[in-house]
Amino acid sequence: MKCAQNPHRLVLTAQDDSNPMAALLASAKARAAEYQQVNEVDSADEMDEDEGDSWNGIDETGAEGASTSAARKDSSRKAFDKVFKQVVDSADVVLYILDARDPEGTRSKEVERMVMASEGGSKRLILILNKIDLIPSPVLKAWLVHLRRYFPTLPLRAANSAPNAQAFGHKQLTVKGTAEALFKALKSFAQSRQLKRSVSVGVIGYPNVGKSSVINALTSRLGGRTGACPVGAEAGVTTSLREVKLDNKLKLLDSPGIVFPSSTEPSKASKIEEQARLILLNAIPPKEIEDPVPAVTLLLKRLSSSPDMFSKLLDVYGLPPLMTTNGDMTTDFLIQVARKRGRLGKGGVPNIHSAAQAVITDWRDGRIQGWMDAPVLQVATEAPSNAAQGSAAPVGDQKEIVKEWAAEFKLEGLWGDDANNAAGTMET
């Protein structure tokens, strides 16, 4: 799927050749200082909180009123700070798990800056593209090329596809093969550090992006304990920090899923849009979804940009081309889905809410195909205008520093400037 404008698109300028890593670390340290101030203010209050409470980072405005919503938002921020800081402080390496169908949607640049700023930049961050079986090879290759401009990135198939999922094969990228590749990379890093203690590997990411599945893939496929972490289709299965020992030199930290909270107060319309986005990412448990219809609207909007994807969506439910009335495609679509799936109320009236829930479930389990295309790298020929406007200059390509990190993990062939080289990397 292509967006008209992509806020994550990287623009290379003449300033990018100086020292992009220094710029990144400077930005990270500034963010860390701000973060530390907030954390110090909140630390006294956090001591009284229940350590067993979990949070998925989603602010909801319910019938309790604005005061309750504000209190929840405040506690959410504190909970995020507590869990995230605990993981990052304890980890030598942080695995940032992303959904291959929407990597940028499950990625936070703020989180990356905070990891980079921790302990003077001594931490290592690896991006893990999970659920790769739900996207075709060309899309996967493009995302690997794009993300590897920032951090070492590995493709992973942490679990088998759901029943009737529209899956794609990627040759050697099996559950066992990708888990072994990740394990070997972590072992290489541990050996290069030559620490007397175990290397700690933190696992972070959105709720239900596959963090526990990643740990289970590493343990069960490599002679470890089966079912080391609880796994479920519902967000929020992991509710506290868990430590899983891989061997004498490696241990993993599994954390509750967290969505980085927004620093700005969103409007009512943007809240609905954000809820819809999080529903499509399966970051909200199904039982907490009050209205799934906006999420279906967002899904239809994305898929309609590709005639092929939209046609495949209709094929899932055996529907003819949609004939919308008053421009309301969502209602027309859900009425037909309700009739096809028997989601009817009294008198045979289509149950729109129930039909929308069914569509969201089919999307979550991969029965509906859809993905975001990687941003296209553009090279600017003129001097950047944002500097004159007082905004921060964009951080450039981190290719050299990522090469150094890749060497620590022995990720040979990581750097390729085209899809063919990227494909070769995926099959090593």
- Give residue 354's Cα distance to chain centre: 27
Q: What is the pLDDT of residue 6?
A: 44
Does residue 29 register a pLDDT over 60?
no
pLDDT band for 246, please (50, 70, 90 cuts): confident
State which CATH number among 3.40.50.2300, 2.60.120.280, 1.10.1580.10, 1.10.443.10 fits the domain covering 268-364: 1.10.1580.10
256-315 tens-digit pLDDT: 766 765 555 567 778 899 999 999 998 888 888 999 999 999 999 999 999 999 999 999
Per-residue pLDDT band for 30 (boundaries 50, 70, 90) equals low
pLDDT at site 304? 92
Predicted confidence band at 366 (pLDDT cuts at 50, 70, 90)? Answer: very high
On the CB side of 304, CA atoms within 13 Å amount to 11
Interstrand relation of 242-247 and 199-205 (parallel, antiparallel or unpaired):
unpaired
The residue assigned the tokens 């979804």 is: 289
3-class secondary structure, 278: helix
- Listed in sequence order, the residues at least 6 apart from 304 whose beta carbon sits closer than 8 Å to its beta carbon are 310, 329
Q: Are the C-beta atoms of 363 and 280 separated by less than 8 Å?
A: yes
State pTM to two decimals: 0.72
Mean pLDDT of 7-32: 45
For residue 170, give every residue at least 6 positions away whose Cβ sits within 8 Å of its Cβ, in sequence order, or none: 132, 133, 137, 140, 155, 157, 426
d(CA 130, CA 229): 17
Residue 171 pLDDT greater than 80, yes or no: no
**CATH 1.10.1580.10 residue ranges in the chain?**
268-364
In the CATH scheme, what is the code of domain 19-259+390-426? 3.40.50.300
What is the bridge-based pairing of β-strands 93-99 and 199-205?
parallel
Please state, in angstroms and as integers, the Cα–Cα distance from residue 306 to each residue in 54, 140, 178, 310, following that order: 38, 17, 30, 6
Q: Cβ distance 94 to 125 under 8 Å?
A: yes
- The pairing of strands 250-254 and 153-155 is unpaired
Taking CA atoms, 225 is separated from 86, 210, 229, 236, in Å, by 25, 18, 10, 22
Q: What whole-number distance in Å separates Cα of residue 425 and Cα of residue 428? A: 5
User: Tokens for 417?
Assistant: 């400037």
Residue corresponding to tokens 């899923």:
257
Whole-number mean pLDDT of the chain? 73
Tokens 């506290």 sit on residue: 240
User: In the predicted model, is pLDDT for residue 69 greater than 50?
Assistant: no
Strands 124-130 and 378-379: unpaired
Strand partners for 199: 250
Name the band, by pLDDT with cuts 50, 70 and 90, for residue 67.
very low
Is the pLDDT confidence value at 143 over 90?
Answer: yes
Among 93-107, 175-189, 330-344, 346-360, the range scoring the smallest mean pLDDT is 175-189
Does residue 45 surpass a pLDDT of 60?
Answer: no
State mean pLDDT over 244-258. Answer: 81
Q: What 3 state SS string does 179-205 have?
A: HHHHHHHHHHHHHHHCCCCCEEEEEEE
Rounded distance, CA 130 to CA 140, Å?
10
Residues 407, 368: Cα–Cα separation, whole Å = 38
Q: What is the mean pLDDT of residues 105-110?
A: 89
Would the pLDDT of 422 be above 50? Answer: no
276 backbone dihedrals φ, ψ, rounded to 5°:
-60, -40
Please determine, for residue 90, whether its predicted confidence score (pLDDT) is greater than 50.
Answer: yes
Q: Where are the domain boundaries for CATH 3.40.50.300 in the chain?
A: 19-259+390-426
User: What distance in Å separates the CA atoms of residue 4 and residue 390, rounded to the nearest whole number?
Assistant: 26
Position 301 scores a pLDDT of: 94
C-alpha span between 356 and 360 (Å, rounded):
6
